[in-house]
Amino acid sequence: MEQEKVIQAKDLKVYYKDHKKNPLSRQHRKQVLKGVTLDIYEGEILGIAGESGCGKSTFAKAIVGMNKDIEGELIQKYGDPQMVFQDPYSSLNPSKKIGWLLEEPLKADKTRTWTKEERKKRAKEILKAIGLQENILDRYPSQLSGGQRQRVSIGVALMKSPKILIADEPVSALDVTIQAQILELLQELHREMGITILFISHDLRVIYQICDHVAVMHEGIIKEYGVPKDVYKNPKSEYTMQLLEAAGIR
Amino acid sequence: MRYILKKVLSMVLTLFVVSLCVFLAFSLIPGDPVTRMFGTEATPELIAQYREKMGLNDPILVRYFRWFVAFLQGDMGISYDYKIPVTGMLAEKIPITFTLAIMSFAIMVIISIPLGIYTAKYENGIIDHVISVINQIIMAIPPFFSGILLTFVFGVILRVFQPGGFVSYTVDFEKFLKYLILPAFAIALPKAAMATKLLRGSVIDEAGKDYTRTAYSRGNTTNGVLYRHVLKNAMIPVVTFMGMALADMVAGSIVIEQVFGIPGISRILLSSINNRDYPVVEAIIMGIAIIVLVINLLVDIIYRIINPRIEVES
Amino acid sequence: MGNIILDVTDLHIEFHDHDLPETVVEDFDLMLEAGEIVGIVGESGSGKSMSALAIAGLLKRHALTKKGKIMFDGTDLLSCDRKTLRSYQGDEISMIFQEPMTSLNPVKKIGWQVEESLRIHHKEIDKKERKRRAIEMMEAVGLRDAEHVYNMYPHELSGGMRQRVMIAAAMIGEPKILIADEPTTALDVTIQAQIVNLLRQMNKDKGTAIIFISHDLSLIRQLCQRVIVMQKGNIVENGNVEDIFRKPQMGYTRKLIAAIPQINLS
Amino acid sequence: MKRFLSLFKKNKATGERNTYLLMGVILTGLILLMVIVGLFYTPYDPTKMDASAKMQGISLRHIMGTDNMGRDVFSRVMYGSRITVVIATFTIIIGAGVGTIIGALAGYYGGMFGEVTMRIIDAMLAFPSILLSLVFVSLFGTGMYQVAVALGISFIPSFARIVRGEFLRCRNMDYVEVARLQGVSDIRIIFVHILPNIVGVLLSSVMIGFNNAVLAEAGLSFLGIGSQPPYASLGKMLSDAQSYLFKRPSYVISIGLVIVLMVLGFSFLGEGIKRIPENK
């Protein structure tokens, strides 16, 4: 079955400023992604695996436009991809109530204006989808547990019904049992809304559980790509083998 | 070494910028210096003649460079009021102000470091509470008022201090130092209170960090952890503060000299501000600026010695 | 039964930081044989780290009450005086922590920190010999170019190297027990595997018993023979790792195991 | 109001009471009361001289005595406090207002602009603030408003630095990234998303700034280059009183005490605000 590509990266190179060098000079750029070619298909969950500093988060940031210093091609079928971050504590503004946080994306929506009633209605819909009660709307993030916060973060990202959701290590900061619940939620949302998910994780087991494809990244390069089961069974690259061994999978 | 060179370079750059700002600020103020010098005696011919002689008709940047180069060579211009070189006017005053600042600094260090460590070690004890209240009060007393109070207590009640009995260092160095003790305390007390509070907070902060747990796990005593591990880390912000405090003390002595009738640079500065005798004001500000910058450089170097992380923080 | 070197019975820990006392560890028992590796597993708030810190005698910061017995070398570490406790700390019982960056003193040289236990407990060893042993130990934990690293500061090393330094510093006194509190959680998977291997090797070479604390059951399965499962301050299950994986007795253990994504490659 | 009162109750979690906040509110309240009452009523006319009542000690008729011209010191203190409070308020409005904006922009945008701004701010901060205000006073001339402006400018750097630090901390928080991804404008992120999170820090710096402003103004007036008669501030009055230290110490000390209490009030408030749990 030929599926449509929603994101195509062709020989994508991304640079960071090197902070050890003089910040006033433009010369010092550090190449973090060294030519990544990767397609993301409509409606799939694509996992990117790799260790810290391998460039997996940089790739995500390049897609959502948080990183502007890029070379190569990055074709996106839809605009406005949304992102969920790792740390459920810093990704919600501590001075705002949950209701306010959920409605904010709609207030900033440039494509249409939402009335107050519409915003409230949408927030309640999303709340239901992420499995939280309505009484949570009047609470502050500090009154929520880590798992609840991560649900809210996902909810905020979903408010404008994006076609693509990027989840950057969304379960790494959570306890294992909570982790399982959030993964379940992501799978459920994927099933019901048909949303494409780019799932970034260092945990090969988690990727195996929920992803349709996996790309293994190392030092800014995609080392291997395929269906998780095949990749784990017959890893072609040395590095993938190392990762699998370290995780006790092989 | 490269670090020090970099700091020296940035200091020179700052000095350059500061001097330019000072010069421009005082040059752009309305009012003609020659008219100011001669007042009602000024005739148009005299003004023209002096303008030419003083180079006032040259472009402002040329005047600036001439002034700056002369300044570096120790020629700070001529006072409008006294018609004598500013350098001579200030030469005997600066050692007085500087001694006062150094004495205040020493008092601050001697008081605050032991107290800061003690109050942190016995956090929330009775002595800690008493000292934090005293600190809070001392910080609320303007230095000139504590100067007045000290004069009152030691001069009027105890009679061990003679107000106004200043002796110059050229006459009797020992008596000179003795006279400066009270003023130095007046300057040092609020800074000592702040430094104590800062060091206390810093030690408590550091003591809560993971590495102290590691130190205990190796079998260190409480004192071992405090003196061998925590203190060096805790001193990092305190060193920065003390550097700024020393600079503040140089300037703060301006006020205290007034209270105790000490003939330092204070009187000259104030009268020249009131009389708009700008060459003198410029010279004093530049003098203090240089002292401040040199202090900053020293602080940077000490900072570098106690904090090896500085390069990564950039 | 082999030679039991540590016997913890009925350990209770209660915090009094707030108005209401809070029980963080209840009825904790642990028997450790010489040279064995025991795992403690649990989620955040399970009391696993608190039990470990209590054994290491490092709970002094909190307002708390402790009850029970921690018998080591004929002494109850819970009730003995501070001086006796200190004589064991770093010499017979050592500990390594989760965050190698913050657990090392940022303004002291690596060598100085590695040598610290020797300096405290073995004053008879002179400076030169201390340095020789430190470098030997640093080489043993796989730090290449140990002479050079000896004079570096923590911020100049990578996370994996820092944890190796922590292990070298903990092992230099050749302790009988090493307590490792989530030593790999802050590290990447490949580095994690290296550190786990290093701990296994230390256990084999020096005969040091290890108490390995982790939230990661699969990691514990790789390293430990025995495991204690904790939840909300209580021991839920206790026994051989493989048995527990195969036949978990309690609901909570089953939930923990189920939360690990299963991989079936065949 | 209920929330405000709850700040003074014992904290249930830690069992501590915020004594600093309570003391701060009481002291500042008393000073403000004196200033406000002074707008409508003073026991005597603060400028009326009375040759028959020179240098009187503390009595029921004159609770702080009279000065060398027979004026009632307490009435003059009520008046002088107003001048001091007005100057300090102006100083803070200028310093905190401009400083917050500069700090917010420099912290949020960073880059070249932030770097250059902070170099200038740091250079200014390296200079003792009294010297900085002296320079500005000598440029603007003496007088109440000139002093307020001079002090205000010299207070900008410290506020800019604090606010920038907070913005740098918040700028890279994930919630700011989230807001950016949702298409929220920069201005809204700065003022609606980030600013509320630093209100605690800002408020406590404003209080500490206030007490520094009172001290700095008093220092300048003491040197004779602050506010000018007939608008004598507390500092100016203390400077005038100093020469009578030996004749009538209570005259000098009572004025000094009012300054101390005013500063203490603000510094207690600042400490108290810092200790409110949400601000930690």
Mind listing the pLDDT tens digit for each residue in B124-143? 899 999 999 899 999 989 88
Condensed to tens digits (0 to 9), the pLDDT of residues B148-166 reads: 899 888 888 888 877 777 8
Q: Do the Cβ atoms of C256 and A243 come within 8 Å?
A: no
**Is the pLDDT score of B21 beyond 80?**
yes
Of A68 and D95, which is predicted with more confidence? D95
Bridging pattern class, strands A5-17 and A70-76: antiparallel
pLDDT exceeds cutoff 60 at A25: no
One-character DSSP codes across A30-65:
EEEEEEEEEEEETT-EEEEE--TTSSHHHHHHHHHT
CB–CB contacts below 8 A, A to D: 57
- The subunits that touch chain A, with at least 3 C-beta pairs less than 8 Å apart, are B, C, D
Q: What are phi and psi of A38, to 5 degrees?
A: -155, 135
Q: At what angle do helices B278-306 and B265-274 cross, to 10 degrees?
A: 130
Nearest to D88 by CA among D237, D249, D207, D247: D207
Tens-place pLDDT, residues D141-184: 777 888 889 899 999 999 999 999 999 988 888 999 999 988 89
Residue A23 has pLDDT above 60, yes or no: no
Most confident of C61-65, D75-79, D122-126: D75-79
D177/A160 touch (CB, cutoff 8 Å), yes or no:
no
Q: Answer yes or no: is pLDDT of A1 > 60.
A: no
Statement: residue D280 has pLDDT above 60: no
Number of other CB atoms surrounding residue A73 within 10 Å: 11
pLDDT digits (tens, 9 = 90+) for C94-134: 999 998 889 999 999 999 999 999 999 999 999 999 999 99
Q: 3-state class of B56 per DSSP?
A: coil
D182 CB neighbour count, 10 Å cutoff: 21
Place of tokens 């501070």: C82
Q: pLDDT per residue over B235-261, tens digit each?
A: 999 998 998 899 889 888 888 998 888
The pLDDT confidence band at residue D1, using thresholds 50, 70 and 90, is low
CA atoms B297, B300, B306, B308: torsion sign: negative
Q: Give the model's pLDDT for residue C211.
A: 95
Q: How confident is the model at residue A22 (pLDDT cuts 50, 70, 90)?
A: low
Chain C residue at shortest CA distance from B210:
C103
SS3 C147: helix
Per-residue pLDDT band at B314 (split at 50, 70, 90): very low
CA-closest candidate to residue A86, choices A160, A146, A155, A14: A146
DSSP code per residue over B79-132: -TTT-SBHHHHHHTHHHHHHHHHHHHHHHHHHHHHHHHHHHHHTTTSHHHHHHH
pLDDT tens, position by position, C42-72:
988 899 999 999 999 988 766 788 889 999 9
Is the distance from CB of B155 to CB of B163 less than 8 angstroms? yes
- Can you say whether residue A81 is alpha, beta or left, with left for phi > 0 and alpha for psi between -120 and 50 degrees? beta
Which residue from A minimizes the CA distance to D186?
A: A108
What average pLDDT score do residues B13-29 get? 83
- Render pLDDT for A72-129 as a digit per residue (tens, 0 to 9): 888 888 888 899 998 888 999 999 999 999 999 999 888 889 999 999 999 999 999 9
**Could you give the residue range(s) of every CATH 3.40.50.300 domain in chain A?**
1-81+167-250
pLDDT at site B254: 85
Q: Which residues of B touch A19 (CB under 8 A)?
A: 314
Predicted pLDDT at D230: 67
Residues belonging to chain A with any Cβ–Cβ distance to chain B shorter than 8 Å: 19-20, 23
- B219 or D229, greater pLDDT: B219
Q: Average pLDDT of B288-306?
A: 86
Q: Which residues of D touch A90 (CB under 8 A)?
A: 173-175
Our CA-based measurement puts residue C234 at a distance from the nearest CA of chain A, in whole angstroms, of 17
Q: Does C242 touch chain A (CB under 8 A)?
A: no
- What pLDDT was estimated at residue B248? 86
Whole-number average pLDDT of chain A: 89
Residues of B in contact with A20 (CB under 8 A): 312, 314
Q: Which of C11, C54, C55 is nearest to C32 (CA)?
A: C55
Q: Is the pLDDT of residue A217 over 80?
A: yes
Chain C partners (3+ C-beta pairs within 8 A): A, B, D
Specify whether the CB–CB gap between C226 and C241 falls below 8 A.
yes
Is the minimum CB–CB distance between A172 and chain C shorter than 8 Å? no
Residue C214's nearest CA partner among C191, C180, C244 is C180
Residue C3 has pLDDT above 90, yes or no: no
> Is D230 an interface residue toward C (CB < 8 Å)?
no
Q: Which CATH class is domain A1-81+167-250?
A: alpha beta
pLDDT band at D228 (very low <50, low <70, confident <90, very high): low
Closest CA in chain A for residue B311: A20
Chain C contact for A180 (CB, 8 A cutoff): yes
Question: Around Cβ B262, how many Cβ atoms within 10 Å?
Answer: 23
- Interface predicted TM-score (ipTM): 0.86
Q: What is the pLDDT of residues A141-198, one digit of tens each?
A: 999 999 999 999 999 999 999 999 999 999 988 888 899 999 999 999 999 999 999 9
Contacts of A164 (CB under 8 A, 6+ apart): A6, A7, A40, A63, A78, A81, A82, A195, A196, A197, A198
H or E element in which residue B287 lies: helix B278-306
pTM, entire model: 0.88
The residues facing A8 across adjacent strands are A39, A75
d(C-alpha C30, C-alpha C252), whole Å = 20
**Residue of A90, A108, A160 lying closest to D173 (CB–CB):** A90
Banded model confidence at residue A18, pLDDT cuts 50, 70, 90? low
Angle A76-A206-A239 (CA atoms, 0-180°, nearest 5)?
A: 80
CB contact under 8 A, B216 and C89: yes
Most D CBs within 10 Å, among B11, B124, B145, to test the D interface: B145
Report H helices in chain A. 56-64, 98-107, 116-129, 146-158, 176-193, 204-210, 228-233, 238-246
Of A175, A183, A206, the CB nearest to C215: A175
On the question of pLDDT at B312 being above 50, the answer is no
